[in-house]
A = this chain, B = another copy of it.
């Protein structure tokens, strides 16, 4: 496994791949890899001649009171896991390598970033766009792989790619689930046995909202049914449960085709997120 730590090394790998007309798949991560990341890598492996995984805990997407310093890091373990998933190169730069200058130019997410998870994390998605734009320019991938689990992040990145014409195809990999439908997450281990037995109600609520929306067309009715399922079957507290257009993340109207139903629910001390993305006109968007 080749671990690249400098931009100059990465540029050389990319230049050679481009010269050899190899397709490049990029899997951007913050490391501490879990099954979700490895699924992204497997998709990248199946569609590209060269697979590059970035491992970089990006300081600019953490707020001042967030856990940048304590965010878990384990590059030796990540390297082994990435290798087993077929990754060709890891790009693991230092913060100084990625941000040697600050010329004061910023990329700012717009109204998409003011709701859902963005409501409580001001500036978070600006930092995500900054590092993703840099990675796209450095790796120049044909395809970049993101998990649908972070639907808002994916929506905002897709909007940047669309509106700024980045020459990359965004591949959204579906949420990986436990057998009972609970979205896989590193945080699931924090749940007690009782909480764990309640948690699938989130996904059941989202599914019910989807069915209700497709049948009745009523956003309000879909939301209240989903919330009722979650309230009736868990001791949790719903942080948000929204039905929005995708990827614009605006209120659904007559023109809306693509939909995201997204929820964040506190069950005990653990905050879980999940979502469904689908088309009102019947086509499934991400498979």
Which residues on B sit within 8 Å (CB–CB) of A159? 101, 103-105
* Contact pattern, A 142-176, Cβ under 8 Å of B = 1, otherwise 0: 00000000000000100110111111000000000
Question: Which residues from chain A sit less than 8 Å from chain B, CB to CB?
Answer: 7, 11, 18-19, 21, 101-112, 129-130, 133-134, 137-138, 140, 156, 159-160, 162-167, 247-248
Q: How far is the CA of A7 from the CA of B104 in the complex (A)?
A: 30
Question: In the complex, what's the smallest C-beta–C-beta distance from A197 to chain B, in angstroms?
Answer: 40
11 A–B pairs (Cβ distance < 8 Å), ordered by A: A11-B167, A101-B159, A102-B163, A103-B160, A104-B109, A104-B110, A104-B111, A105-B160, A106-B110, A108-B108, A137-B165
Contact across chains for A105 and B103 when beta carbons are under 8 A apart: no
Contact across chains for A103 and B110 when beta carbons are under 8 A apart: yes
Instruction: Output the residue of A18, A103, A130, A159 with the most chain B CB within 10 A.
Output: A103
Which residues on B sit within 8 Å (CB–CB) of A11? 167
Question: In the complex, what's the smallest C-beta–C-beta distance from A6 to chain B, in angstroms?
Answer: 12
Q: How far is the CA of A160 from the CA of B107 in the complex (A)?
A: 10
Q: How far is the CA of A163 from the CA of B98 in the complex (A)?
A: 9
Taking CB as reference atom, which chain B residue is nearest A138?
Answer: B165
Q: How far is the CA of A108 from the CA of B130 in the complex (A)?
A: 12
Question: In the complex, what's the smallest C-beta–C-beta distance from A61 to chain B, in angstroms?
Answer: 15
Q: How far is the CA of A103 from the CA of B19 in the complex (A)?
A: 34
- Which of B105, B134, B248 interacts with A108 by CB under 8 Å? B105
**Extra inter-chain contacts (17) besides given A19-B21, A103-B247, A104-B109, CB under 8 Å:** A11-B167, A101-B162, A103-B112, A104-B111, A104-B112, A105-B107, A105-B109, A105-B129, A105-B156, A105-B163, A106-B107, A106-B110, A134-B164, A134-B165, A137-B166, A137-B167, A140-B167
